[in-house]
Chain A
């Protein structure tokens, strides 16, 4: 069945450093979504990517969808303590269920 792998599992950075998490699907995706879960909270939608090679930016966050629509990445420039949390990618096949990656837990040291 469809699998979505996400790395790394944990990332500890100093405030101001950059951070990247990578997502890889075993199958071609219709779309990929990214969510952020703060400690003790629930996942909150960040963005959805649909087109092959798509790149979207939200302030310091840059999201990419691979040309083959099987991989994606989230890059945060100059991390801040407010970026702390777990970042999940979620891939969806056409008409299929949304499958979440294992998540990358980001901690930021001030």
Chain B
């Protein structure tokens, strides 16, 4: 069974640009959540999607957005990139209900210069 797949794995963007990251969950998993990981802030919850609907949202500005498609694949977008957005962005999938184990992808390393 394939794990959570994230693309791209590494990317470099310039301040002011926007970026889209993609996540394919484990087959059969309907919930996808996104986290930002930085050395100083640890793992910060961005948002969670279930059946194409945002179920929970973290405390990030509106520049961070996401969506989920009918096949459970998810994308997150960051507009008007800032230097502080440089981080590892992790996607995690789970079966459905709150309390299920979440499985992380390997992440997308974003560097903003």
Contact = CB atoms under 8 A, between A and B. Distances in A.
B33 to A, nearest CB: 7
Interface string A81-110: 000000010101011111111110000000
A39 interface: no
A88 B107 CA distance: 17
A100 B43 CA distance: 6
B64 interface: no
A92 B99 contact: yes
A33 interface: yes
B45 A97 contact: yes
Contact of A100 (B45, B57, B101): B45
Interface of B: 33, 35, 42-45, 48, 56-59, 90, 98-99, 101-107
19 contacts: A31-B99, A33-B101, A42-B104, A42-B106, A42-B107, A43-B43, A45-B101, A48-B99, A50-B99, A97-B33, A97-B56, A98-B102, A99-B45, A100-B43, A100-B44, A100-B45, A101-B42, A102-B42, A103-B42
Given A1-B59, A48-B101, 17 more contacts: A30-B99, A35-B104, A42-B90, A42-B106, A43-B43, A43-B104, A45-B103, A88-B42, A96-B56, A96-B98, A97-B48, A97-B58, A99-B45, A100-B35, A100-B43, A101-B42, A103-B43
